[in-house]
Structure 1
Amino acid sequence: MDKPQEIVLAEPRGFCAGVDRAIEIVERAIAKFGAPIYVRHEIVHNTFVVNDLKTRGAIFIEELDDVPPGATLVFSAHGVSQAVQQEAKRRGFQIFDATCPLVSKVHVEVAKLAKEGYEFIMIGHKGHPEVEGTMGQLDHGIHLVEEVEDVAKVQPAQTELLAVVTQTTLSVDDAAAIMAAVRERFPQVRVPKQQDICYATQNRQDAVKVLSPQVDVVIVVGSPTSSNSNRLRELAARLGTRAYMVDNAQELQPAWFDGVARVGLTAGASAPEVLVREVIDRIKALGATSVRSMNGIEETVKFPLPKGLKIDAATGLEIEVRKAPELGPGH
């Protein structure tokens, strides 16, 4: 059995600014108000992150009925519907909204255009919380399209005022194909000035396009529920490279590396670097002797935190957050 010789790391990979912000909101809420803090839906779609926050005092719920009166509630990075927002306010919870600002931008656009009489076509995956949150900004007039074939089935009440929005974590190529079909059927449709697919999704997919031809197999670190992680694996496979997605290093299968000289490694936007390092160590144990990083885009985006979580009102000092230990490359 030939052993892998080299690990090639995609750049960029892993956490994006929206995920960093969402996790920090939960951490700061716990530090300021004490456990438990309630979070509607998984704060981000990653098993390790969710389990770590559970140990610190976060309780993840799907229904507001599971949140006791007077509790502190955090909305996940994926966003929530107007109905959920209004009901949470009605119940008097202390609310912190960890919705990714790029998702919130889509919500604002939908609300603005709806007032002008627009209907919407939303490109996204049915059942994904981001899609439910965006579609839930309106009571009616928003039509979900998951694939090109669905475009022919859309029956808007009128076509003069029709706009497109998309889930932020889609395959860039798939979304472009669906968008082309929408424009062909509805030539006058309004499309976003800047595409809704977020910079981090685009950058990670572009990195996989560069990485895949250089390696024999691609490993994507990400949880099964992570949309953007799944798209990375699918993209590598579409480019002709064997590709697997793992939630952690224990899921790696030695047989995947038979006859492999170079292993490509990337991570979805909700997967922490500590998991990437553990995967590197596991592949090294299977024989890899070197690790190198691709040249890639350096992301410097940072989103501001909610005002109530920056400073402790009692002390006037920056809230201190206990960080989980990061495992270095040698661990």
Structure 2
Amino acid sequence: MNVTIDKNSGYCFGVEFAIQMAEDELEHEETLYCLGDIVHNRMEVERLHGLGLRIIDREQLAELHDCKVLIRAHGEPPETYELALRNNLELIDASCPVVLKLQNRVKHAYDTSTRQNGQIVIYGQPGHAEVTGLTGQTGNRAIIVMTEPDLDQIDFTRPVTLFSQTTKSTAGFYRMKQLIEERIAAAKGEIASFDANDSICRQVSNREPALRKFAELHDVVIFVSGRKSSNGKALFSVVNQTNARSYFIENEQELQTEWFLGAQSVGICGATSTPMWLMQRVADHIEQVALEVA
């Protein structure tokens, strides 16, 4: 059985940058706080916990004073920075440059649309850290949509500016764009007042066609990702649509021997939040399984 790890899978630049910053700080700090999971991968969070990284929530952040706090790649709303100033917190800001640029675009669009009685709409997962940071640029007035029923929140007779969470599906974004256009037409609104911005990270979206090709090459595909990862869910959907013998796992302990019966080739891939060391561990385990099913 041939086992291959997808060389294009694994950390995107933003996640790799955040983890490197955490590791650099922990070389000379016993403890570093991080607001929320640094990455949506339990195995990596546990590894960094062993180095001294402590995950905190917003309530715990409000109680901290005079210490260092890492801002993860997802970015944060303005009120986080205001709180840091009040509590004398030193922020180690690892916000992804792509996310920061999008935050600035959303803020500018909100300031402009407010003067035009418009609405900011974000295609994204409610409660997701990145989406929280984006809506914070609008004073939490942005409308969050994930499904068609969510569109009922929008007044289609008024201007609409649409953005996307950077890790969402490209196909999903353009489907949402089409639905909004149809609703505007039905409401007899002005289609010219609809501004759709494809703000999906190209390092993420470009993985979709590459993953389809990778999934076609193998009898069985093992997709490794944290279950909290929005990007992981989106990319696994792409893999699963291409290859029915695709399986989503969080670590090697979830592998099942029967998945590999009759398989000549196995491909291992993952999300932008999946560490390469974890995919290698899965590959090593599958090679052991191959000896059992041979």
**Is this a same-fold pair by TM over 0.5?**
yes
Residues of 2 paired with 1:112 and 1:267: CA distance? 34
Gapped regions of structure 1 (runs ≥ 5)? 289-331
Residue pairs, 1:141-290, within 5 angstroms: 141-151=141-151, 153-156=152-155, 159-160=158-159, 162-186=160-184, 187-188=191-192, 189-192=194-197, 195-287=198-290
Count residues in correspondence. 279
Contact 1:228 1:269 in 2 (8 A): yes
Q: Is 1:49 matched up with 2:44?
A: yes
> Greater helix share, 1 or 2?
2
In structure 2, the residue matched to 1:80 is: 76
In structure 2, the residue matched to 1:38 is: 33
Q: Is 1:96 matched up with 2:92?
A: yes
Contact 1:216 1:241 in 2 (8 A): no
Contact 1:141 1:156 in 2 (8 A): no
SS in 1 for 2:70: strand
SS in 1 for 2:290: coil
In structure 1, the residue matched to 2:187 is: none
Contact 2:64 2:87 in 1 (8 A): no
Contact 2:68 2:89 in 1 (8 A): yes
Residue pairs, 1:105-144, within 5 angstroms: 105-116=101-112, 117=114, 118-144=118-144
TM-score after normalising by structure 1: 0.78
Q: Deviations over 1:183-210 (max 9, x none)?
A: 3334331122xx2111221122222111
In structure 1, the residue matched to 2:188 is: none
Taking only the aligned residue pairs, the percentage that are identical comes to 27
| Residues 149 and 63 (structure 1), Cα distance of their counterparts in 2 relative to 1, 3 Å cut | closer
Q: Is 1:7 matched up with 2:3?
A: yes
Gapped regions of structure 2 (runs ≥ 5)? 185-190
Question: Amino acid of the residue matched to residue 179 of structure 2?
Answer: A
Contact 2:22 2:53 in 1 (8 A): yes
Residues of 1 paired with 2:158 and 2:140: CA distance? 15
TM-score after normalising by structure 2: 0.88
Structure 1 residue 64 displacement after superposition: 4.7
Contact 1:130 1:167 in 2 (8 A): yes
Contact 1:11 1:207 in 2 (8 A): no
Residues of 1 paired with 2:246 and 2:65: CA distance? 47
Contact 2:156 2:183 in 1 (8 A): no
Residues of 2 paired with 1:285 and 1:106: CA distance? 45
Residues of 1 paired with 2:155 and 2:24: CA distance? 44
Residues of 1 paired with 2:21 and 2:59: CA distance? 19
SS in 1 for 2:206: helix
Structure 1 residue 149 displacement after superposition: 3.7
Contact 1:125 1:131 in 2 (8 A): yes
Please point out which of 71, 76, 90 is paired with 2:67.
Answer: 71
Structure showing greater relative contact order (alpha-carbon pairs closer than 8 Å, 6 or more residues apart): 1
